Amino acid sequence: MKKILMLASLVLLSAGFLLANSNTEKSTTSQDNWDTMAPADFKGKIVLWSFTDEVQGMIPYFNEVYPNIEVESVVIPNADEVYLNKINTTLRSGAGGPDVFTGESAYYKQFIDAGFWEPISDAPYNADELLGDLVPYVPGSTKDANGKVTALSWQATPGALFYRRSIAKEVLGTDDPATVSKYTSDLSKFYELGSMINDKYNGEKFLLAGYSDMSQFIYNLRDEPYVVNNKLNIPQGFYDYMKLSKEMRDNNIESGTTTWQPPWFSSMADASVMCYILPTWGLHYVLKPNAEPEADKGEKEFSGDWGLAVPPASYSWGGTWIGVNSMSNQKMLAYQFVKFIGSNADFLEKWAKKTGDFVSNTKVIEKVKPTFSEPFLGGQNHYEYFAKEAKKIDVSMRGPWDFQIENAWGDQVELYVTGSKTFDEAVADFKKAVSEILPDLDVE
């Protein structure tokens, strides 16, 4: 039955490609001179699909430069993979769909492999001419099988570790980021710090809200993809992570919550947890609004009771890319939007200063980083730190099914940590889950 469904999907996908090729030829012939056109000369309407309203907030900046392109924004949240399924079913059917759409790091490789995003390296787009000013991994990770860039992004997403200075002072005698980093940058010392917190507060405060906060840097600690020669490749770090997580739970190093659950968010405000392992966007869109919501709304000053330290390993987490629908009849207009959002220096400088988000344009990064001072972090310059970390990001091992494989492993880690399964049972059930996701993969 699974093979029948897969065959049906391939038929639909092939039909989509035929339609795509037809539309590509049609739109290209009407766009011969677009590289010489002024922004105001581009006229028409495009439809944008995204899983958050973040890009929607960028449209006014776009229309300051391109006043005659109307962008209709449609937000489709990705809870239970609704957005991912919507993109897959719509584009494979070849009926309708957006002119431009976003993809998150967890699944955007599926869009690239399916040919949903238009390759933009060469004429008439010539996106390769933009690459010299961009953080290399951002466009580089969107290359298709022919080595062509398919999408851009306004952001790069290296990771950090954020900590409560007041807990650091009581446990370590200082809140100095360099001293704190000596404990947080090494996994053994990090665990030792957790024991010190447990002893200091008699088990009422914790190093982490949940062991799952470590998952992203663990997932980045691998030398090979999860699938090698059509065989499942389980990194040693996965096994180490499972064992360490249970040890942390058993020894009261973490509070017993799970990332993204309500107790995880509330722990940011009640000062029961010292550390959160989050990337660039986590600072502005997760930690600040939950740890100090009134200050985040501008109703009071930030306390400055937070700092940035070095995590146990460099990592990147998340990120949103945007590309042109390969079946769109408005590729000329859609690419103007992608190029503007993903490379325009004036826009990205404004966006960085307004939101604090770490942008993808290296010239903008170099220009703004000396002046950043984050009140939430007691005046610490997070941009300087992220600029160094962005150079370490290696996404060459990412595959189209990473999100599903990592979720399957995370499910089994939880069952092992809670004592519902033995270690061997959890590993065996992980392999079973992967075989259901990818039935043709050798999981042994």
pLDDT at 29 over 90: no
pLDDT at 39 over 80: yes
pLDDT at 136 over 70: yes
Query: What is the residue-wise DSSP string for 326-394?
Result: TT-S-HHHHHHHHHHHHH-HHHHHHHHHHH---BSBHHHHHHHGGG--BGGGTTB-HHHHHHHHHTT--
Please state, in angstroms and as integers, the Cα–Cα distance from residue 48 to each residue in 19, 321, 326, 377, 384, following that order: 20, 13, 14, 35, 33
CA–CA distance, 321 with 281 (Å, rounded to integer) = 14
pLDDT at 22 over 50: no
Query: Position of tokens 């389980």?
Result: 234
pLDDT at 239 over 80: yes
Which amino acid belongs to residue 21? N
Given this model, what pLDDT does residue 32 score? 59
CA–CA distance, 299 with 304 (Å, rounded to integer) = 15
Q: Which fold has domain 159-314+396-437?
A: D-Maltodextrin-Binding Protein; domain 2 (3.40.190)
Strands (E), 110-257: 159-164, 206-208, 227-228, 231-232
Give the rounded percent of residues in the chain with a pLDDT score beyond 90.
82
Given this model, what pLDDT does residue 17 score? 37
Rounded average pLDDT over 34-54: 92
In 3D, which of 158, 111, 17 has the Cα closest to residue 321?
111
Contacts (Cβ under 8 Å, ≥6 apart) of 174: 168, 180
Q: pLDDT confidence of 26, banded at 50, 70, 90?
A: very low
pLDDT at 30 over 60: no
CA–CA distance, 114 with 402 (Å, rounded to integer) = 16
Rounded average pLDDT over 280-287: 94
| Residue 389 in tokens | 């970390």
Bridge partner list, 73: 48
CA–CA distance, 50 with 98 (Å, rounded to integer) = 10
CB atoms within 10 A of CB 67: 12
Rounded average pLDDT over 78-100: 90
Q: pLDDT confidence of 442, banded at 50, 70, 90?
A: very high
Rounded average pLDDT over 49-70: 97
Q: Phi and psi (nearest 5°) for 400?
A: -65, -20
Phi-psi region of 421 (alpha: psi -120 to 50; beta: other; left: phi over 0): beta
Which range is least confidently modeled, 73-82, 159-168, 189-198, 265-274?
A: 73-82
CA–CA distance, 330 with 52 (Å, rounded to integer) = 22
Given this model, what pLDDT does residue 403 score? 86
Which range is least confidently modeled, 123-132, 326-335, 378-387, 398-407?
A: 398-407
Could you report the per-residue pLDDT of 100-135, keeping only the tens digit for each? 999 998 889 999 999 999 999 999 999 999 999 999
pLDDT at 20 over 50: no
Domain span(s) for CATH 3.40.190.10 in the chain: 42-156+318-360, 159-314+396-437
pLDDT at 302 over 70: yes
Rounded average pLDDT over 281-299: 95
Global pTM value: 0.84
Rounded average pLDDT over 355-361: 93
Which range is least confidently modeled, 251-255, 266-270, 352-356, 422-426?
A: 352-356
| Residue 334 in tokens | 């859609």
Rounded average pLDDT over 236-264: 96
Q: Phi and psi (nearest 5°) for 352?
A: -65, -45
Rounded average pLDDT over 238-244: 96
CA dihedral 283→286→288→289, nearest 10 degrees, is 160
Give the rounded percent of residues in the chain with a pLDDT score beyond 70.
93
Could you report the per-residue pLDDT of 137-183, keeping only the tens digit for each? 999 999 999 999 999 999 999 999 999 999 999 999 999 999 999 99
pLDDT at 374 over 60: yes
Could you report the per-residue pLDDT of 197-232, keeping only the tens digit for each? 999 999 999 999 999 999 998 988 888 899 999 999
302 secondary structure, DSSP code: -
> What is the CA 329 to chain-centroid distance, rounded?
29
Rounded average pLDDT over 230-236: 94
Mean of pLDDT over the chain: 91
Query: Position of tokens 């009134």?
Result: 294
Superfamily of structural domain 42-156+318-360? Periplasmic binding protein-like II (3.40.190.10)
Which range is least confidently modeled, 23-32, 52-61, 98-107?
A: 23-32
For residues 334 and 32, is the Cβ–Cβ distance under 8 A?
no
pLDDT at 21 over 60: no
CA–CA distance, 139 with 149 (Å, rounded to integer) = 6
